[in-house]
Every structure is written in C-alpha cells, then in structure tokens.
Amino acid sequence: MLKSMRRNKQFLKVFLWAVIATFIVSIFVYFGASGQLGEEGGSGTLAFIGKHKISQDAYTAALRQRIEAMRKQYPDLNKTLIQQLNLPQQTLEEMVTQTLLLDLAKAMNLAATDAEILDKIHSYPVFQRDGKFVGADEYRRILNWNRISISDFENSLRTEVLLTKVVRVLTSGVAVIPDEIWENYRKENETAKLEYLVLEKDKVNLETQPSEAELQAHFEKNKASYQVPEKREAEFIVLIADNLKKEIKVVDADIASYYKDNIAQFKTPETIRVSRIWFSSEGRDPALVRAEAQTVLDRLGGGEDFAALAKKFSKDAKAPEGGDWGTTEWRSLGSAEQDAVEKLAAGALSGLVESEGGLAVLKVTEKTAEATQSLDEVKARIKTILEDEKARALADERIAELAKRARREKSLIVAAQRMNLKTRKTGLLKTGQAFEEIDPSGSISSALFGLKEKDISDPIYTYNGVALAQLQRIAPAHAGTFAEVKDEVGQDVTRERKKERIRERINALRTRLLAETKKGWEDIAKEEGVEFKAINEHKREQYIGTIGENARFDALAFSLPLQAVSEPIDYENGFALLRVLERKEIGRTDLEKVQAAERDKLLEAKKNKFLQSFLAKAREDKKVRIKYDLFLKLNSDLLARFGD
C-alpha cells in the first residue's frame, strides 16, 4: 500500500488519511478540537488527567475521525464491529496516554526541532518518488488534496516526534541479558505434543444438598472470609429512550436534510479486483523473458484460464492463489502496473507491462464503480437514526428539568410527582453492580458511590437511557452474619463437595489409565464421560483449552517423562490428567543463528512492558478520572449513525 501511495497521486487522494491516522486522529484532532494541552474546550469534560482535561467534543471528534478513516478501507464497518474492535475505548485511552507523555516531555524540557520535523516529512513514503522527497510544491499539493493544512500537519508531526523522544528517554535504561534471551527463545520455540483428560465440577451432580448445620459449621470455621462490602441504596428514575419514541415524529424533510448533510455515509467506493502473472527478469535473458510472457499473453487471448496460467508461470507470491491480488494489495505494485490497471475495464487484459525487475500481465477480474445509495434505499435507516437521536435528546431534556426541580425541592420524589413520574428504589447495590436490564454496565451503582446521603446525582447515562438518582442509605462494609452470606456459603460448600467428588473420580480414572496402557485415551474418555483434549504444539506459558493458564500443567508438559500419566492437576473448575507424547527441544546452538533478532525482539517486548507499567503508575499519580456515564452516552450518540 505504501508503494502505491508513493507512486500514484490519484490513490493518495483516497488513502492518505489511513497512513497518517495514528497521529492525525489521535493527536491532531485532540489538539485541534480540544485546544492546547491543559484547556478544557468543548461543552463538557470527559476525562481529567491531573491539571489537564479532555473535552467531550475532542473525544467525539477523534473517534469520528478514526471511524471514518477505517471506513475508507472497510466500507461495511458497522456499529457492532466498531464495538467489537473496541475503538471507543482505544481512542480515549490513547488520548489519555498522549496527555501523560506530553506532560512528562514538558517536565523533561524535551522539544522537537524544525530539522527533526523536516526529516520526518522527508521519511514518509507518501512524500517520496523513487526514494527522494517530492519537493515542497508536490508536498503542499498532496496535503491540499486531503484538505489538511500544512501548519496542522506539521504540528501533529512535531507532537509525534516529541512522543517518540519521551518514550525513548523513558525506556533507555531497559536492557536484556543473555540468559533472558535464552529463556525467551526456549519459551517460544520448544513445544510438546500432549493429550489430557478433564473432569469439571460443573459436570457433577450431588444427590443431596448441604444441610443447614453443614452450612453453619462451614461459616463458623471461615468467618473471616465472609465480608459484606459497602452497599448503597437510592431512589431513582430512568428514562428509556425506546419508550419515548412514541412521542417522536420524524418527517420526510428531516430525513432528506440528514441524507444531504451525511451523504458520505451512504457512499460505497469504487472497487477493482486485479489478477497478475509476473515474469521475473532477474538473472535471465530479457529477450527470453519477453518471449515467454508474450506466449502466455497469446494463450490468454485465445481463451485459456488466467488463474491456471498464473499458477504455472507467475513468479510472485500470489501465484499459488491464481495470481489474485485482491482489491487493495494490487495498489502496492509499481506505478506502471497501477496505471495499466486504471485503464482496464472489467474482464479486460493488459498487454505486457514493463516494471522494475520484469514484465507483468494484468487482468481486472471485477470492477464496481463508486455508488451512492438513493434516499429511498436508506430512508428507513435514517428514520431509525433520527428517532434514536430525538428520543435521547428528549430524555436528556426531561432529566435536566427533573434534576433542576429535584435540587430546588431537595427531593427527587417530590420533583418526580410534580412531573407525573414515579421513582423506584434500587435496593442495596455494590459499586459497579448491574441493575436489572436497565443498567447492565453498573453505571447507576457506580454513580451512587460518588454521592453523600441525600445528594442528587448528575444525569447517569446507561446503554438504554438516562437516569437520575438520590442517595438514600449507606450500609457500611462489615463482617457478614450467617443470614447475610448464607447463599455465598452454600455456593462454597457445594463447590467443595463437588471438588471432592471429582477428586475421587479422577484418581480412579488415573488408576485405569495406568492399567490399560494399550487403549487410547480418547476411547477411555468416551467410556468414562470425561472430556478429551489434544494439543499438537504446546508452548511454554501458553493458554490451555478448558483449563486456562496453569503453572503446574505447564511445568509437567516440559518435564514429565514421555507416555507417563501425570498426577491429578488441580485447576479452578476441576482436575486434569496429562500425558506427553512428543517433545521438541532446542539447544543454545539453535539460538546462536538468530541471537541478534531474538535480542531485539525481547528488548522491544521489555520496553513495551516497562512503558505500560510506567503509564499505569502515572495514571495513579495524576489521578486520571473518566466520566464513564458520559463516555457511554457519547458512544451511543455517535454509533447510532451506523447500522448494526
């Protein structure tokens, strides 16, 4: 892709944002939309980092830019995928991280010089032709094509250089020693072929339930472990956005206006799928290469299958796939090949195309023009978006009015009655505890722990709507009485009894395995009703299916004699038995061949780990605070514009 950007101006118009997204989205938007470091900007604050703030407008702008940059590459990007990729959390975390690092850079008196900015500009492939800087005029034209001002772009580069500097200074003392390199190399390259049987407590049924006396005895023996955390109770009202939609009216004029203002949402870009047969001239007579290429081109002209000939004659990495370079990878080909592709219609063949190092024959296997969905096609979708937006706005308006009255009356109940609304009690909740279907993320309970008794909260945004609460009661943390923790005690006793039952079964199973050495473990597992698992290449510290991470299992995988049956291996949900079938071991001579690369890889990993630890401590020191209810609301508002 970068080669394509370097050689093809037209392609630059479309894809430059994706190349510089890491700093244009995360830095330029932040400092452009939010103001300089330390200013609040916008209409409200989303995050506090020491003396610095991130405004909700800055965050929304950054997330929107990131999503739009991704949509240029993934036109089908929707709300579900955005959430699965965790883009909102990533965007906010990057903004917090950058604030912490830039603040540290200021404290260290670090700066980015004009010469460093110039070097950075010259280093970007998008601003190069044949390995050289394109020149000031072409540099300005590329930025103008993408509607980016030179000052904004260079300021964002200055910030990127500064971030690189501060990270380099922070991690300069990180080093690796030979023994660390060896242990890491072993961990990544030694493998074991395993079989194991698993018996879980959840698969065991008890004939009788624990008696009251048994529960009481267990409680008395383990009293210290049964602590009841602080809990809080409030009167609250929640306005569910979906319930307000019946009051919302969306007219055709609203839909048409939204369509016009957001037309980019309804565009699908041009797509071109390309196949290629490559004839390398490296170390060969150019005349013979041309003759071979012409022969293949003639055969294609005679109707022979392109994919079959590509598999036979092509000398690039895509030959086994029939020469298919997909819809984006072909843009990394040379400029001559790209120019040839742009001129071809769907199904058409190029002639012989000369490129660096050989000749190519190209075929456009698919071509779809840029298209815009009509208003009629997206009318229902826009109506849903507008209904969601208007319902949320109505909920915000009513909650704001309710909050105003409640503070004046010093009572949420009284204010609610005057607005013909009815409050409910939350019951005692732990911090972060989910509340029914209304608030599965625990936003309401979390908000209660920031209040004093009789305080009225700010609006609390949940996935389903917006709430207002007045704290009524605080139940302090205390040692639990038997009555309070009886359910928890019952769960613990049941868990212990099941664990003991499966301990007996796993020991009996091990005895059978030792006796029936010729029978396969998979067959025995079926007869015994236990789970059979196999791993062809288990590496040290690797996650183990069903069991998870288990130090004893891992140690036995690399120490147990081959074919031996392990002792029962205890893990959280049950027991396992292990057998090692084969083992691939390595020696220090294997490492010698790749020691430099392994050292660099481990050093990079250690630096990243150190930086993560440093940033975690910096967050604590700066008392980073994020208004997660507002975070949820902003995400909900923005993602409502994308289909599920």
Quote the pLDDT of residue 581.
96
More confident site: 25 or 461: 461
pLDDT, position 583: 95
Which tokens hold the place of 396?
């915000």
Amino acid 644: pLDDT? 59
User: Does this model's pTM top 0.85?
Assistant: no
- Provide the pLDDT for residue 456: 96
Does the pLDDT value for residue 409 go beyond 70? yes
Ordered DSSP codes for 222-248: TGGG-EEPPEEEEEEEEEEHHHHGGG-
b/e 252-284 (16+ beta carbons within 10 angstroms → b): eebbeebbeeeeebbeeeeebbbbbbbbebeee
Pick from 198, 205, 197: which is nearest to 501 by CA? 205
pLDDT beyond 60 at 35? no
Q: Is the pLDDT of residue 123 over 60?
A: yes
At 312-342, the pLDDT tens digits run 999 988 999 999 998 878 877 888 888 899 8
| Integer Cα distance of 56 and 34 in angstroms | 8
Rounded CA gap, 598 and 586, in Å? Answer: 14
Domains and CATH numbers, the chain: 2-172+609-639 (1.10.4030.10), 191-209+484-584 (3.10.50), 231-260+378-476 (3.10.50), 270-369 (3.10.50.40)
**pLDDT interval class at 363 (50, 70, 90):** very high
DSSP for 344-360, written as a single string: PPTT-B---EEETTEEE
Identify whether the C-beta of residue 311 lies closer than 8 Å to the C-beta of residue 319.
yes
User: Is the pLDDT reported for residue 624 higher than 50?
Assistant: yes
Does 28 have pLDDT greater than 80?
no
Work out the average pLDDT over 297-321: 93
Residue 72: which pLDDT band, with cuts at 50, 70 and 90? low
* CA–CA dist 156, 91 (Å, integer): 16
pLDDT tier at 12, thresholds 50, 70, 90: very low
Residue 21: what pLDDT?
A: 34
The pLDDT value given to residue 643: 59
**From 64-78, 83-97, 195-209, the region with the lowest mean pLDDT:** 64-78
Mean pLDDT of 375-401: 91
- pLDDT (average), residues 231-237: 96
Secondary structure, 3-state, 484-506 = HHHHHHHHHHHHHHHHHHHHHHH
Q: What is the pLDDT of residues 266-292, one digit of tens each?
A: 887 788 999 999 999 888 899 999 999
635: pLDDT strictly greater than 90: no
**What pLDDT sits at residue 291?**
94
Mean pLDDT for the stretch of residues 143-156: 82
pLDDT, tens digit, for every residue of 472-517? 999 999 999 999 999 999 999 999 999 999 999 999 999 999 999 9
Does an H or E element contain 469, and which? strand 465-475
Predicted local distance difference test score (pLDDT) of residue 139:
85
Tokens of 209: 């339930």
Q: What is the pLDDT of residues 173-190, one digit of tens each?
A: 999 999 999 999 999 999
> Of 251-260, 430-439, 623-632, where does mean pLDDT reach its minimum?
623-632
Q: How confident is the model at residue 252 (pLDDT cuts 50, 70, 90)?
A: very high
pLDDT at 141: 82
Q: Look at residue 301 in the predicted model and tell me its pLDDT.
A: 92
Q: Assign 38 a pLDDT band (cuts: 50, 70, 90).
A: very low
pLDDT computed for residue 508 by the predictor: 96
Please tell me the predicted confidence (pLDDT) of residue 327: 84
- Over range 592-612, report the average pLDDT: 91
Is the Cβ–Cβ distance between 82 and 641 less than 8 Å? no
Helix, strand, coil share (%) of the chain residues, nearest 5: 55, 20, 30
Separation CA 241–CA 396 (nearest Å): 9
Mean pLDDT on 297-326: 93
Q: How confident is the model at residue 144 (pLDDT cuts 50, 70, 90)?
A: confident
DSSP category for residue 439 = B
As a whole number, mean pLDDT of residues 36-56 equals 70
Pairing of strands 267-268, 371-372: antiparallel
Nearby residues of 465 by Cβ (< 8 Å), 6 or more positions away? 238, 239, 240, 241, 242, 243, 392, 395, 438
Share of the chain above pLDDT 70, in %: 92
